[in-house]
Amino acid sequence: MSWRAKDDLRECLKSVRGWETVVVDNASGDGSAEMVASEFPEVKLIALSENTGFSGGNNLALEGLDADYALLLNSDATVEPGGLERLLAFADATPDAGIIGPKVINPDGSIQYSCRRWPTFAAGMFRNVWLGRLFPGNKPASDYLMQDFDHASVRDVNWVSGCALLIRKTCLEQIGLLDAETFFMYCEDMDWSLRAHQGNWRVVFFPGCVVTHAIGKSSDNAAERMIREHSRSMWRFWKKHRAFFADKVPALLQPFVWSGIWLRAYVRIAKRRLTGVGKRDWRPKK
């Protein structure tokens, strides 16, 4: 799925050339669809006239899947040479893994925290807001991001980011497509991973395939809207899976989840407007 990321999309497609690829262009209007058609004629292109969101766009590519696996890959991500071969070999050797996340790094080579634990109320209080600046390295946010994990070994995890996510066809057939009705953008990967766990599938981090992700190239085009969309999705995720999280969020705090999510959103927006803080400080991470 791609939206207004033509130059990044070109590099993404170069990195997976030779593999069966589908590009869903979510009404980018920046020449992305035309570029794919002219430079990558072997790619199946679905050019939409309106933006259907991350879930809706990816679902169009996933419908009628006739391969054993599907890899969701953001348009601002590239796969290292040989990475897909290693990822598929691992998937073949691990038949109980329904969802597998490769190792994701930033363009400077640092770790991007693409496998995570379930979110908590405390993590939300510290992540991407002023409390996090006051208490760098705080335990709630660090635990959520799995910063105690060196990302160098195979590991079962709670969930993996949709920026680069392999799903097994048999898992997809059991748990269904991304929930496009609930999640326009953000949290659909967390929801998918939770549904996989509930279907008795493993969700696994695999470092043998490395993906470089220039995070947020598309969402940068509508920054404040994306902060609001992220918050809306977090609230919908909480409502959908409230029973699952009942023992993870203290009962006294549960009535404040909605207000906490939206207070956090508007603190981030205000911080951005008032201080001109850099993109990497405010952007919701995939």
In the chain, domain spans? 67-282
Instruction: Enumerate long-range contacts of 28-35, CB under 8 Å, 24 or more apart.
Output: 28/2, 28/3, 28/4, 29/4, 30/4, 30/6, 31/6, 32/2, 32/4, 32/5, 32/6, 32/75, 35/6, 35/9, 35/10
pLDDT for the residue 279: 44
Q: What is the mean pLDDT of each run of 10 residues along the chain (286 residues)?
A: 90 97 93 96 95 95 93 97 98 98 97 94 63 65 93 98 97 98 95 98 98 74 80 91 83 78 77 60 38
pLDDT for the residue 164: 98
Cα angle 10, 13, 19 (rounded to 5 degrees) comes to 165
Q: Which letter, b or e, does each residue of 23-40 get, where b requires 16 or more Cβ atoms within 10 Å of its Cβ?
A: bbbbbbebebbebbeeeb
Look at the alpha carbons of 86, 77, 107, 233 in this order and tell me if their dihedral is positive or negative.
negative
- pTM score: 0.88
pLDDT for the residue 180: 96
**Residue owning tokens 């033509």:** 6
Task: Name which CATH class applies to 67-282.
Answer: alpha beta
